[in-house]
Amino acid sequence: MSAALGGRGGLSINLATIREQCDMSEAVDACLRHSISAISPWRDQIAAIGLDTAARLVREHDLTVTGVCRGGMFTASDAAGRRAAIDDNMRAIDEAASLNADCLVLVVGGLPDGSRDIAGARQMVTDGIGAVLDHARAAAVPLAIEPLHPMYAADRCCVNTLSQALDMCDTLAPGNGGDLGLAIDAYHVWWDPELAAQIARAGREGRILAHHICDWLVPTQDLLLDRGMMGDGIIDLSGFRDMIEKAGFSGHQEVEIFSAENWWKRDADLVLETCIARYRAI
């Protein structure tokens, strides 16, 4: 496994990792100080400095944008809500295109308010992605469904396994993996007993668009905001990466850490130094 920071297969920083210390401009400066030229910003971070400024930063520093976070949230209790979600995803696609992003990451949404129908929620997701897919194709922005851990099925993401996401891709874009695929986040899918088989399937179908890394701490103190730095938890990240590479993915490893009580309270340079050291070691 390569330990180089630049080029394909190098290190990317999802800017959520230092979101409490830096705005997007400051985060870019910090990454560049550490020879990191690949980033993945969130839409609120882009909006805070303005899309034009964000796009200028990407151009001027020749940055690779490994993804924009996030589109999705297609589920809603009424037609107006679902239409609003589709409209917002159209805007997200345009923003990702402005940054020449490798993909737009989709966190698809959980159960609508008052609903217990998870199958119906998943159908809303399929319908919503189908409604924006042609716009994404025209903008040359691949859409990356990110399955989330089942603990988020109710409120954030009703697609929870690689198999579910791949079935959705096959329904909407059969044989066309470049347009619609997966963001495979180790934090969310490490536990899946079908992990190896489904990563291999995703590779055969050309659907691995992004690979996110962090670690699962034991005990986990917060289900959203206590992700671990690589090597501090129990995920076999080296083995995970080996599966990804054997499946044909040669893109960046994107560090995405939500850590309210630890890494978000540390100096951004220290966080990035640690990311680099753990990336090279693990």
**Where along the chain do its domains lie?**
11-281
When pLDDT is cut at 50, 70 and 90, the band that residue 192 belongs to is: very high
**How confident is the model at residue 6, as a pLDDT?**
61
**How confident is the model at residue 196, as a pLDDT?**
98
Residue 1 has pLDDT above 50, yes or no: no
What angle in degrees, to the nearest 10, is found between the helix axes of 51-60 and 24-33?
10
**How confident is the model at residue 101, as a pLDDT?**
98
List 255's β-bridge partners, or say none: 13, 213
Q: Would you call 21 helix, strand, or coil by DSSP?
A: coil
Residue 75 has pLDDT above 60, yes or no: yes
Residue 4 has pLDDT above 90, yes or no: no
**How confident is the model at residue 143, as a pLDDT?**
98
When pLDDT is cut at 50, 70 and 90, the band that residue 177 belongs to is: confident
| Average pLDDT, integer, range 185-194 | 98
What are phi and psi for residue 157, nearest 5 degrees?
A: -160, 110
The percent of residues above 70 in pLDDT, for the chain, comes to 98
Residue 3 has pLDDT above 60, yes or no: no
Distance (Å, whole) CA 40 – CA 104: 10
When pLDDT is cut at 50, 70 and 90, the band that residue 5 belongs to is: confident
Q: Quickly name the fold that domain 11-281 has.
A: TIM Barrel (3.20.20)
From 5-19, 71-85, 162-176, 190-204, the region with the lowest mean pLDDT: 5-19
Residue 24 has pLDDT above 80, yes or no: yes
When pLDDT is cut at 50, 70 and 90, the band that residue 120 belongs to is: very high
CB contact at 8 A, 93 and 60: no
The residues, ordered by sequence, that sit 6+ positions from 12 with a Cβ below 8 Å of its Cβ are 36, 38, 39, 40, 64, 66, 252, 253, 254, 255
Residue 209's closest CA among 160, 146, 167, 161? 146
**How confident is the model at residue 8, as a pLDDT?**
62
Tokens standing for residue 83: 């239409």
Q: What is the pLDDT of residues 220-256, one digit of tens each?
A: 999 999 999 999 999 999 999 999 999 999 999 999 9
Q: What is the pLDDT of residues 87-98, one digit of tens each?
A: 999 999 999 999
When pLDDT is cut at 50, 70 and 90, the band that residue 2 belongs to is: very low
Distance (Å, whole) CA 89 – CA 92: 5
**Average confidence score pLDDT of the chain:** 96
Q: What is the DSSP letter of 111?
A: P
Q: Where are the beta strands (DSSP E) in 120-252?
A: 143-145, 180-185, 208-213
